[in-house]
């Protein structure tokens, strides 16, 4: 397995330049409509950034297989773009939705959160590849009469933009269907980054028992691309694969330094099996911050995520997440590390944390698992609150010296 290390020079080599002739003639343009939406502009100006979502119906009578794509109407304030695959059944109200989504919206139908927003099929970040052609013999399947949810984050917000994506497709079924596996933390996870720190990092896991559950019968994930995503405070992101039986480990990709404005999707070649565990680590610097930074939707918040493009697709396996685990805290009291590791061990020995992997749509996800997730989140909130309180005086003293 090849380890991929990316710096600012090497990253330029991963742009894929394609001409129109390279694509199939059939395509879907999924872009924000030109119709106006009701937006409280005063609140948006205060927030600076905004999430917009548009539900697009393919109206296809047979499956379409995407072999390439290109980003349409790019602007410098485009923070990220996601395409979600939705469940086929959709009510009349939801099927016509175009409006604000994310943390700013309380009016988007809950059905869209439940049936769409756990199944990402394409992820693009600021400064990423504008065009891409999938590997030969592969394709992204768009099911018959399916819906796709386009989510775009603008920062800062400028009204009436029509950004989106063009999917080029074929009717011919490829040998392998493409899947996308989302790693890292939930958007509103309990990320706590105190100010004035040169370095702070945490790990997230795709635990081995989750891999065992969804990679049964000796299945293999052939990962061919990866996108790493965080915000301005992140300085380094890397992913490590651990072979549980042999206890071997190897770094899959290491973006050091990580550049928020150059979030290129990088080509890799990695095989994952049910013998593996995946560790995603995000490293931050809050040296010039004057207040606590939390996890969240806005650009001034922070995230820690990765997106694996792979084949063949495992239908019930779009997510493999965990809550942040602080275990390498430099110059912090030892109790924080011990407490962190105790919580991790509790998770490893508790099969109910499988609620953080798999498919969260109602078809696969039980109420028992949802309840378990809430309880685990509460434990992490307690830990993070204690963690921040424990170093509060130290941070306060540092602030006074500046």
What secondary structure does DSSP assign to 104-172, as a single string? G-S-S-HHHHHHTTT-EEEEEETT--SEEEPPTTEEEEE-TT-EEEEEEEESS--SS---EEEEEEESS
Indicate whether 135 and 228 sit together in one domain: no
Among 116, 150, 177, where does a domain finish?
Answer: 177
Among 177, 206, 232, where does a domain finish?
Answer: 177
pLDDT for the residue 169: 96
The model carries a pTM of 0.82
Number of domains in the chain: 2
Which residues partner with 82 through β-bridges?
Answer: 123, 151
Query: Are 317 and 359 a contacting pair, CB within 8 Å?
Result: yes
The CATH number linked to 145 is 2.60.120.310
Indicate whether 146 and 158 sit together in one domain: yes
Q: What is the CA radius of gyration of the chain?
A: 21
Indicate whether 199 and 338 sit together in one domain: yes
Q: What is the pLDDT of residues 290-301, one digit of tens each?
A: 988 888 888 889
The residue among 178 and 193 whose pLDDT is bigger is 178
The CA distance from 161 to 93, in Å, is: 23
Under the banding of pLDDT at 50, 70 and 90, the label for residue 334 is: very low
Q: What is the pLDDT of residues 353-363, one digit of tens each?
A: 555 777 654 33
The residue among 48 and 194 whose pLDDT is bigger is 194
Indicate whether 160 and 189 sit together in one domain: no
DSSP symbol at 260: T
Question: Would you say residue 31 lies in a domain?
Answer: yes
Q: What is the pLDDT of residues 270-324, one digit of tens each?
A: 999 999 999 999 999 999 999 888 888 888 899 999 999 999 999 888 889 887 8
Does pLDDT of 172 surpass 90? yes
- The percentage of the chain sitting over the pLDDT mark of 70, rounded to a whole number, equals 68
Indicate whether 255 and 338 sit together in one domain: yes
All residues at 6 or more sequence positions from 226 whose CB lies less than 8 Å from its CB, including other chains? 239, 252, 253, 265, 266, 268, 306, 307, 308, 309
Query: Are 197 and 394 a contacting pair, CB within 8 Å?
Result: no
Which single residue is written with the structure tokens 């309380």? Answer: 106
The CATH number linked to 285 is 2.60.120.230
Indicate whether 191 and 92 sit together in one domain: no
Does pLDDT of 268 surpass 90? yes
**φ and ψ of 249, to 5 deg:** -140, 155
**Among 22-31, 331-340, 344-353, which range has the highest average pLDDT?**
22-31
Q: What is the pLDDT of residues 57-104, one digit of tens each?
A: 888 899 999 999 999 988 888 889 999 998 766 666 567 788 888 655
Range in 3-7, 12-16, 35-39, 111-115 with the lowest mean pLDDT: 12-16
Question: Would you say residue 82 lies in a domain?
Answer: yes
Indicate whether 224 and 167 sit together in one domain: no
Does pLDDT of 365 surpass 50? no
The CA distance from 327 to 341, in Å, is: 7
If we measure between CA atoms, which residue out of 354, 364, 290, 322 comes closest to residue 87?
A: 364
Query: Are 60 and 145 a contacting pair, CB within 8 Å?
Result: yes
Instruction: Please give the structure tokens belonging to residue 334.
Output: 């030892």
pLDDT for the residue 256: 96
Query: Are 254 and 6 a contacting pair, CB within 8 Å?
Result: yes
The CA distance from 163 to 66, in Å, is: 19
- CA distances, 68 to each of 11, 121, 136, 169 (Å): 20, 13, 11, 7
Query: Are 15 and 264 a contacting pair, CB within 8 Å?
Result: yes
Indicate whether 201 and 330 sit together in one domain: yes
Indicate whether 196 and 153 sit together in one domain: no
pLDDT for the residue 327: 62
pLDDT for the residue 36: 63
**Among 47-61, 91-105, 362-376, which range has the highest average pLDDT?**
47-61
Torsion angle of C-alpha atoms 346, 348, 349, 351, degrees rounded to 10: 110
Indicate whether 215 and 333 sit together in one domain: yes
**Mean pLDDT computed over 24-40:** 75
Which residues partner with 16 through β-bridges?
Answer: none
Query: Are 290 and 399 a contacting pair, CB within 8 Å?
Result: yes
Does pLDDT of 366 surpass 70? no
Under the banding of pLDDT at 50, 70 and 90, the label for residue 342 is: low
What is the pLDDT of the chain when averaged over all its residues?
77
Instruction: Please give the structure tokens belonging to residue 115.
Output: 């049936």
Among 141, 157, 177, where does a domain finish?
Answer: 177
Which single residue is written with the structure tokens 């009291």? Answer: 333
The residue segments making up the domain with residue 78 are 17-177
Torsion angle of C-alpha atoms 49, 51, 52, 55, degrees rounded to 10: 170
Indicate whether 269 and 209 sit together in one domain: yes
Under the banding of pLDDT at 50, 70 and 90, the label for residue 369 is: very low
Indicate whether 169 and 191 sit together in one domain: no
**Mean pLDDT computed over 355-384:** 48
Does pLDDT of 136 surpass 50? yes
Instruction: Please give the structure tokens belonging to residue 154.
Output: 């603008």
């Amino acid at each position: 397995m090849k380890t991929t290390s990316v710096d600012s020079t090497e990253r330029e080599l991963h742009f894929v330049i394609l001409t129109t002739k390279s694509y199939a003639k059939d395509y879907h343009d999924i872009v924000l409509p030109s119709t106006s939406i009701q937006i409280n502009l005063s609140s948006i100006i205060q927030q600076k950034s905004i999430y917009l979502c548009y539900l697009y119906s393919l109206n296809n009578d047979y499956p379409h297989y995407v072999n390439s794509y290109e980003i349409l109407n790019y602007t410098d304030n485009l923070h990220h773009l996601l395409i979600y695959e939705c469940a086929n059944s959709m009510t009349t109200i939801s099927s016509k939705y175009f409006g604000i989504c994310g943390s700013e919206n309380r009016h988007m139908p809950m059905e869209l959160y439940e049936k769409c927003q756990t199944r990402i099929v394409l992820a693009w970040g600021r400064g990423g590849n504008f065009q891409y052609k999938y590997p030969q013999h592969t394709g992204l399947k768009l099911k018959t009469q399916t819906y796709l949810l386009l989510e775009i984050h603008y920062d800062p917000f400028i009204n009436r933009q029509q950004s989106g994506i063009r999917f080029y497709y074929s009717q011919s079924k490829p040998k392998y269907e493409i899947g996308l596996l989302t790693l890292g933390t939930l958007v509103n996870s309990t990320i706590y980054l105190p100010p004035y720190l040169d370095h702070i990092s945490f790990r997230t896991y795709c635990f081995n028992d989750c891999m065992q559950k969804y990679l049964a019968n000796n299945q293999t994930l052939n990962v061919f691309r990866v996108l790493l995503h965080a915000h301005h405070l992140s300085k380094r992101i890397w992913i490590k694969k651990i072979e549980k039986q042999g206890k071997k480990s190897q770094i899959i990709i290491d973006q050091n330094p990580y550049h928020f404005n150059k979030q290129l999707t990088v080509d890799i070649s990695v095989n994952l099996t049910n013998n593996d565990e995946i560790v995603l680590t995000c490293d931050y610097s809050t040296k010039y911050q004057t207040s606590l930074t939390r996890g969240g939707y806005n650009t001034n918040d922070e995230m820690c995520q990765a997106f694996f493009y792979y084949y063949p697709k495992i239908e019930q396996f779009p997510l493999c997440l965990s809550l942040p685990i602080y275990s390498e805290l430099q110059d912090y009291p030892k109790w924080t590390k011990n407490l962190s590791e105790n919580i991790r061990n509790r998770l490893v020995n508790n099969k109910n944390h499988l609620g953080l992997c798999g498919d969260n749509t109602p078809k696969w996800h039980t109420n028992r698992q949802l309840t378990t997730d809430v309880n685990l989140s509460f434990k992490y909130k307690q830990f993070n609150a204690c963690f921040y309180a424990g170093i509060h005086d130290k941070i306060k003293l540092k602030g006074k010296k500046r």
